[in-house]
């Protein structure tokens, strides 16, 4: 069997049903094999970055490994931003890249790029296959690495002659990876110590990260909270890990987190971090983070523990298994005084904004989306103010319903991620909450959504600025708005129609709900251009380098 056929058989063995990709010279043998392939759907994107984000969105929505494909040279390098996005958020993805023939590698051949060298800092692992005999084992290894332990992207670079060489196809039953053995079960003694610390604490707080979603541990988290009555705060990556409406949910912590979440962190006496990594957007000033608390850090990646904040008790292992163990061993707990204090903060410092009817506030649009979808939709976001308003004002019920670029903060992520999520979740309502700056970075993927009838809905919170950067310039740079005013002659309605989508412009608050209902009922792709308040800011806000309790509230509290 030739290499291109072997590769497709390997992908089918791994359960791949969709590949997001773009053709080019050295991958033509593979695209030729895909021409008659019935079991794998090839989604032709309009830019390779879109392919990577679609594979990422597909993976986040389904829990499966996302797959993207690009040719050598510029095709492969166009994947880099999407690969880095997946790496920063620990998303399981396999990126297949074409490469010049093995005899030409290193000779600066046409469309040659050292993609394994380029991507080495932003992948969990990468390979270059130089012999067709190694192809099946490499694919087996790649999918295993991408999906196990702390997940992440794996690049497999494939020279043209490997696609055309013949070899015997035998798909290995097991990966062949000496030394790679992720720890899934927590140390029994450490778990026992954790139980003792939790039972002793008066003001415990759960700090939940995206690892809880990745491990499928949301049910175990819920049972643990119900048994212990420990309040929960989440990172941006875990907004959908615990029901928003639950009385013990404090929402997101950190730079644009809720006041009550940040106050809870600063006042707690025990912080239980689960599947989170204490990034700078969460901690603020490290020396003043959770000053009264001992730290239990539960994570499958031992290198993440005590990397930024020292943990008094590390527990290495899978969040699902460890939460189940903790719940089985711990006694029923009550924290009435602590819960009452948090409820007091919630009542005193709710997330709010100043109404300005008939002008549309962006928060109002997000609230209406939340109200009309009732936690049943998949929400993706672009990056910037739109992302933070989505995190603050959307309400979630189910895991894998909030898909956003956290660690890398990639503008242009939301639309292709929505398409990937829609591909993996047919029949689901998928909505991209966008900004007018970020949406234009990959807006060409409207053509992909229309071509394959992925009926995503895009809600653009159009304020004519690069809003988050403008907010920083207002607050910290004396309102010197350098290169952030992007108001132009772009007509998003006409642009949508040019791509074959439905375009809508909404300029009055009273028209928001009806427009959303119309868009959600429409069978195809919809672009909604909400002309929102021009200089609205995201509050609360913890300034860079400040402690969590020193929040700017913009006069809202």
| Positions marked active-site | 48, 110-111, 160, 468
Pull the structure tokens for residue 447.
């053509």
The contacts of residue 68 (CB under 8 Å, 6+ apart) are 19, 20, 21, 48, 51, 52, 54, 55, 79, 82, 93, 94, 95, 96
Distance CA 454, CA 524 (A): 7
How does DSSP classify residue 433?
A: E
Beta strands in 241-360 (DSSP E): 249-252, 270-274, 294-299, 313-316
CB-CB neighbours of 72 under 10 Å: 26
Which class for 453: exposed (0-12), middle (13-18), buried (19 or more C-beta within 10 A)?
exposed
Distance CA 45, CA 415 (A): 12
For CA atoms 518, 521, 524, 529, give the dihedral sign.
positive
Which class for 492: exposed (0-12), middle (13-18), buried (19 or more C-beta within 10 A)?
buried
Pull the structure tokens for residue 135.
């192809």
Distance CA 162, CA 160 (A): 5
CA-wise closest residue to 126 among 169, 86, 170: 86
CA-wise closest residue to 199 among 233, 242, 229: 229
Distance CA 162, CA 3 (A): 6
Note the helical H segments in 105-176: 115-119, 135-147, 160-164
């Amino acid at each position: 069997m030739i290499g291109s056929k072997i590769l497709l058989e390997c992908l089918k063995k791994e359960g791949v049903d969709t590949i997001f990709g773009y053709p080019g010279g050295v991958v033509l043998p593979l695209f030729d094999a895909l021409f008659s392939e019935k079991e794998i759907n090839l989604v032709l994107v309009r830019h390779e970055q879109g392919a990577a984000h679609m594979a990422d969105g597909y993976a986040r929505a389904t829990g499966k490994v996302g797959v993207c494909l690009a040719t050598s040279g510029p095709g492969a390098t166009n994947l880099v931003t999407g690969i880095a996005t997946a790496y920063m958020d620990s998303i399981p993805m396999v990126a297949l890249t074409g490469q010049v023939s093995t005899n030409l590698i290193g000779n600066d051949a046409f469309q040659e790029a050292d993609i394994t060298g380029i991507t080495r800092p932003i992948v969990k692992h990468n390979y270059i296959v130089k012999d067709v005999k190694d192809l099946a084992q490499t694919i087996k290894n790649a999918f295993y690495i991408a999906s196990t332990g702390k997940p992440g992207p794996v690049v497999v670079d494939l020279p043209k002659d490997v696609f055309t060489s013949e070899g015997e196809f035998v798909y290995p039953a097991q990966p062949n990876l000496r030394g790679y053995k992720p720890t899934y079960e927590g140390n029994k003694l450490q778990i026992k110590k954790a139980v003792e610390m939790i039972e002793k604490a008066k003001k415990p707080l759960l700090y939940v990260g995206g690892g809880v979603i990745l491990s499928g541990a949301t049910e175990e988290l819920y049972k643990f909270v119900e048994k212990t009555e420990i309040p929960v705060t989440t990172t941006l990556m875990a907004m959908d890990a615990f029901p928003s409406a639950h009385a013990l949910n404090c929402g997101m912590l950190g730079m644009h987190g809720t006041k009550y979440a940040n106050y809870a962190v600063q006042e707690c006496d025990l912080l239980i971090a689960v599947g989170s990594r204490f990034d700078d957007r969460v901690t603020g000033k490290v020396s003043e983070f959770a000053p009264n608390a001992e730290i239990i850090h539960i994570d499958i990646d031992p290198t993440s523990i005590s990397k930024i904040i020292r943990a008094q008790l590390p527990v290495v292992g899978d969040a699902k298994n460890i939460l189940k163990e903790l719940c089985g061993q711990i006694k029923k707990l009550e924290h009435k005084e602590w819960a009452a204090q948090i409820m007091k903060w919630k009542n005193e410092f709710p997330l709010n904004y100043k109404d300005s009817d008939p002008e549309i506030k962006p928060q109002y649009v997000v609230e209406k989306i939340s109200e009309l979808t009732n936690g049943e939709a998949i929400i993706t976001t672009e990056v910037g103010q739109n992302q933070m308003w989505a995190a603050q004002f959307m309400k979630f019920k189910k895991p894998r319903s909030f898909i956003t670029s956290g660690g890398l903060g990639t503008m242009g992520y939301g639309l292709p991620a929505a398409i990937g999520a829609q591909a993996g979740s047919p029949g689901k309502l998928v909505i991209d909450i966008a900004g007018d700056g970020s949406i234009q970075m990959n807006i060409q993927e409207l053509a992909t959504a229309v071509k394959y009838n992925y009926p995503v809905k895009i809600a653009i919170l159009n304020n004519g600025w690069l809003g988050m950067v403008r907010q920083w310039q207002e607050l910290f740079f004396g309102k010197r708005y350098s290169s952030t005013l992007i108001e132009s002659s772009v007509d998003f309605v006409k642009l949508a129609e040019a791509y074959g989508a439905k375009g809508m412009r909404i300029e009055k608050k009273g028209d928001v709900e009806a427009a959303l209902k119309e868009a959600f009922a429409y069978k195809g792709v919809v672009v909604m251009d909400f002309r929102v308040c021009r200089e609205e800011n995201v509050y609360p806000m913890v300034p860079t380098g400040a402690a969590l309790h020193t929040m700017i509230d913009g006069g809202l509290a």
